[in-house]
Amino acid sequence: MPDIAAIVAEIAGEMRNAEDRGTVASYIPPLASVPIDKFGIAVVLADGAVHVAGDADEAFSIQSISKVFALTLALGAVGDQLWSRVGREPSGSAFNSIVQLETEHGIPRNPFINAGAIVVCDVLLGRLQPREAIGQMLRFVRELAGDDEAIRLDETVARAEQDTGFRNIALANYMRAFGNIHGDVRMVLGTYFHFCALAMSCRQLAMAGRYLMDGGRVDGHRIVTASRARRIAALMMSCGHYDNSGDFAFRIGLPGKSGVGGGILAVAPGIASIAVWSPGLNEAGNSHLGQRALERLVQRTGWSVFEPREG
């Protein structure tokens, strides 16, 4: 095993001094004021060792990374029936695009674009009230992270999205017109915005990703079956970075999911769960330095899933 503590410290040092940091998302007002100089990284290894550097303990808005946890909950609720309402193909379009929905009859390409995640929320609301679904999500990430109290929802972010998320409102109404949203559109969106408004640190996020590193288990407890963990990871690899997913697989070669808050959760199956955060984004809405940091990490560790393994 390479010296992960040294590698993580080195990457944080390099990212601290980087000049080109991307652009902070400004379409969600509270995110616009997050300082661009932030950078955090946390690596949790299969043996439980945790290595962190930079702003790894500062909570940030996980935004679309919550789509991984929402998908996990929806699969737990309805199993493979979910796939009649949302696809499993990369969209090749922006995270908030509406164009494919017209020709594809309101069935979003995958659960990691906004339209897909909105359908996932509607599925969860088939059995729960919004308050219950939001409570279930909060309990779930706290349990996964092994962190009972500290993870919270940022109501300011949720409210701002509710007030300004016109594209998401359009997506939900459009899918309602196709019959692929069954519940009250406002309640579905309220749930979606609250999931996006989860605030977590890199350390908490990397801890929460352990079930995807370890065949569906955390500390010996089964969260999902091994085959479900593999499938969620496969979707992260093919669809986790919107229209930048191919490039992420090319450069990094790990299942990962990004959010417009600048976080990325990535897993090296059997080896590590990794979270990085830097609020400046590239044009596709993915963390510019977060991607660079992960690229450095896989270069130095050989953790890409495409790296030949012994045995």
259 binds ligand GLU (CB under 6 A): yes
Among 154, 161, 214, 243, binds ligand GLU (CB under 6 A): 161
Interface with ligand GLU in residues 78-107 (CB under 6 A): 95-96
Six-digit token pair at 103?
């020709």
CB of 290 to ligand GLU, least distance (A): 12
262 binds ligand GLU (CB under 6 A): no
114 binds ligand GLU (CB under 6 A): yes
CA distance 13 to 296: 12
CA distance 95 to 241: 8
Nearer to ligand GLU, 28 or 53 (CB): 28
CB of 148 to ligand GLU, least distance (A): 26
63 binds ligand GLU (CB under 6 A): yes
8 A C-beta contact, residue 35 and residue 254? no
The upper half-sphere exposure of residue 18, i.e. CA atoms within 13 Å in the direction of its Cβ, equals 22
Letters for 177-196 (x = contact with ligand GLU by CB under 6 A, - = none) are -------------------x
CA distance 44 to 292: 19
Question: How crowded is residue 143: how many other Cβ atoms within 10 Å of its Cβ?
Answer: 15
Select from 4, 42, 10 the least CA-distant residue to 210.
42
Q: How many residues bind ligand GLU (CB under 6 A)?
A: 12
CB of 285 to ligand GLU, least distance (A): 5
Pairing of strands 272-277, 263-268: antiparallel
DSSP annotation of 127: T
CB of 205 to ligand GLU, least distance (A): 13
110 binds ligand GLU (CB under 6 A): no
Sequence-ordered list of residues with C-beta below 8 angstroms from that of 167, at least 6 positions apart, any chain: 96, 98, 114
Interface with ligand GLU in residues 2-41 (CB under 6 A): none
CA distance 202 to 277: 7
Interface with ligand GLU in residues 196-225 (CB under 6 A): 196
Which chain residues interact with ligand GLU by CB under 6 A? 63-64, 95-96, 114, 161, 165, 168, 196, 259-260, 285
